[in-house]
């Protein structure tokens, strides 16, 4: 090798080493700045009714929360948003690009997300249906919880001796119909096609759901079922004469000032009760604020406080690790060596709203990890880690 060539190689190597050193110093400096700044991922002050605050003022370890937000931002986790609220104030609001697909899409596409982006809620929709039933029950517009579901469909041929006549509205709310229904959930990995898909092309949910054989006494064993949610929506529509979209808009979303939302339809054009809702993450957080304030929003009672208390406490065990209320999941999380009760909405892909009353904390996530229990575990873990930064 010539002397000139050797000198060039040495200079190039020296420049590369300097580049790596400079890059490392930049990353270290950025990490320190991000972790030390309690305003990282600061929430936007918007006119949507959500109050904003400072993480440390609301009792967080600001450095620990910022470090967590930094890690979540950098990791290739396909998380689309993470919002954190305590004492009624939004303290962190993070959005990141990722791959997503809507309900009927076969393939995902990469896109950007922000505060104005509608996102599939998937099975978080179920929790909204449960809230609507509670509102209508308090108004006397739907049957009591001990009502036999079959009795509301007198034209259907269900014999008096059939165990299915014992299925109550309460069993729909707690997903304990006792039927041989197969559907994936946070506690059940699906081995075959989901029975929920059959709801997409059937005009009436009752004949389909009640066609499944009884395997357990109704009201005794939890079996996750979008069919239960579809029946709740159908009963509300039959009793009020309004479809699910009209009920959701009139009773829940409009009183909360939520104006930009969608409820995707089945192939029959009816609202897909079990998984069709699309919301902005901030609007899902507004629902969380309302629930943690015992159903009140800006001085108005939206959902009865007693219904929220029952809906968000465990009514039945969801083996192996959780419980289930009225279309809400319940769980415990660890906080500085203590166990705290929590309630959550959970949607396929990582759509969640986790409420921890003991900390006055709400965590909202959206993500695109559809069909993966690992994706649900991801956002579950993030919510618990957020709680861990509360001092």
Share above pLDDT 70 across residues of the chain, in percent, rounded to a whole number: 90
Which residues, in sequence order, are CB contacts of 56 under 8 Å at separation 6+? 38, 62
Q: How many CB atoms lie within 10 A of CB 32?
A: 11
Q: Does residue 174 fall inside a structural domain?
A: yes
- What range defines the domain where residue 8 resides? 1-34
Specify whether 25 is located in the same domain as 164.
no
Cα separation, 288 vs 305, in Å, equals 13
Confidence class of residue 159 from pLDDT cuts 50, 70 and 90? confident
DSSP E strands in 186-276: the ranges are: 262-263
Task: Check whether 20 has a pLDDT greater than 80.
Answer: no
pLDDT at 144 over 90: yes
**Coil vs helix vs strand at 141:** coil
Domain count, the chain: 2
Is residue 29 located within the same domain as residue 152? no
Closest by CA position to 172, among listed 123, 243, 222, 137: 222
- Average of per-residue pLDDT values in the chain: 91
Distance (Å, whole) CA 319 – CA 191: 17
Q: Is 366 helix (H, G, I), strand (E, B) or coil?
A: strand
Q: Is residue 59 part of a domain?
A: no
Alpha-carbon separation of residue 28 from 19, 37, 54, 345 (angstroms): 14, 14, 24, 37
276 and 376, same domain (yes or no): yes
15 and 146 assigned to the same domain: no
Q: Token match 């009353």: residue?
A: 357
The answer to whether residues 304 and 135 touch, using CB atoms and an 8 Å cutoff, is yes
Both 367 and 234 in a single domain? yes
Specify whether 16 is located in the same domain as 149.
Answer: no
For residues 122 and 351, the answer to whether their CB atoms sit within 8 Å is yes
pLDDT at 193: 85
C-alpha separations of 160 from 148, 152, 163, 165, 178 in Å: 11, 14, 8, 7, 17
Average of pLDDT values for 250-260? 98
Q: Does 335 lie in the same domain as 188?
A: yes
How far apart, in whole angstroms, are the C-alpha atoms of residue 206 and residue 155?
11
Q: In this structure, what token pair is assigned to residue 274?
A: 């079990």
pLDDT of residue 14: 40
Q: Give the integer Cα–Cα distance in Å for 33 and 35.
A: 6
Is the predicted pLDDT of residue 248 greater than 50, yes or no? yes
Asked if the structure places residue 190 within a domain, the reply is yes
Q: Using the predicted structure, report yes or no on whether residue 44 has a pLDDT greater than 50.
A: yes
128 shares a domain with 232: yes
Alpha-carbon distance of 122 to 211, in angstroms, equals 24
Instruction: For residues 320-339, give the mean pLDDT.
Output: 96
Longest dimension (CA), the chain: 100
Whether residue 149 is contained in a domain is answered as yes
Tens digits of per-residue pLDDT, 22-42?
A: 333 333 333 333 333 444 999
Indicate if 271 and 154 belong to the same structural domain. yes
Q: Does 89 map to a domain?
A: no
Unique residue bearing structure tokens 């060539």: 5
What's 321's domain CATH number? 3.40.710.10
Same domain, 11 and 130: no
pLDDT of residue 161: 82
- What are the residue ranges of helices labelled H in the chain? 3-36, 62-74, 124-138, 169-173, 205-209, 226-240, 244-248, 281-292, 305-311, 373-388
- Residues 10 and 136 both lie in one domain: no
86-115: average pLDDT = 97
Residue 210 phi/psi, 5-degree rounding, is -80, 0
Residues 23 and 135 in one domain: no
Q: Classify residue 359: in a domain, yes or no.
A: yes
- Is residue 78, in this structure, part of any structural domain at all? no
Tokens found for residue 19: 């580049």
Structure tokens, 92: 């962190």
Angle at 375 between CA 107 and CA 121, to 5 degrees: 70
For residue 214, give the 3-state DSSP assignment.
strand
Residue written as tokens 């415990």? 332
Is 74 inside a domain boundary?
no
Q: What is the mean pLDDT of residues 52-75?
A: 97
């Amino acid at each position: 090798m010539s002397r000139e060539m050797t000198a060039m190689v040495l200079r190039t190597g020296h420049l590369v080493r300097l580049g790596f050193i400079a890059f490392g110093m930049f990353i270290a400096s950025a990490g320190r700045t991000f972790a030390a700044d309690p305003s990282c991922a600061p929430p936007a002050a918007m006119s949507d009714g959500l109050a904003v605050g400072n993480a440390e003022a609301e009792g967080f370890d600001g450095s620990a929360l910022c470090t967590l937000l930094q890690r979540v931002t950098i990791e290739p986790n396909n998380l689309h948003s993470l919002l954190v609220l305590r004492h009624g104030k939004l303290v962190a609001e993070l959005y990141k690009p990722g791959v997503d697909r809507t309900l009927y899409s076969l393939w995902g596409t990469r896109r950007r997300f922000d505060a104005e982006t509608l996102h599939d809620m998937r099975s978080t929709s179920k929790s909204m249906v449960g809230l609507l039933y509670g509102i209508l029950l308090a108004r006397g517009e739907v049957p009591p919880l001990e009502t036999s579901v079959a009795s509301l469909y007198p034209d259907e041929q269900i014999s008096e001796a059939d165990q299915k006549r014992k299925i109550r509205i309460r069993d729909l709310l707690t997903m304990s119909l006792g039927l041989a229904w197969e559907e994936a959930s946070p506690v059940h990995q699906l081995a075959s096609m989901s029975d929920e898909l059959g709801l997409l092309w059937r005009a009436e949910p009752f004949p389909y759901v009640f066609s499944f054989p009884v395997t357990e006494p109704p009201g005794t064993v939890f079996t996750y079922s979008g069919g239960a949610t579809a029946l709740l929506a159908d009963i509300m529509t039959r009793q009020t004469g309004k479809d699910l979209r009209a009920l959701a808009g009139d009773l829940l979303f409009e009183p909360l000032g939520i104006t930009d939302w969608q409820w995707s339809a089945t192939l029959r054009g009816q609202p897909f009760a079990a998984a069709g809702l699309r919301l902005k993450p901030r609007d899902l957080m507004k629902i969380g604020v309302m629930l943690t304030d015992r159903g009140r929003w800006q001085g108005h009672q939206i959902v009865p406080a007693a219904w929220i208390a029952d809906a968000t406490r465990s009514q039945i065990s969801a083996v192996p690790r959780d419980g289930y209320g009225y279309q809400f999941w319940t769980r415990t999380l660890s906080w500085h060596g203590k166990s705290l009760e929590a309630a959550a909405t959970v949607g396929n892909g990582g759509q969640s709203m986790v409420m921890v009353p003991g900390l006055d904390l709400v965590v909202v996530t959206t993500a695109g990890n559809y069909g993966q229990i690992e994706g649900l575990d991801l956002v579950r873990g993030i919510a618990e880690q957020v709680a861990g930064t509360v001092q």
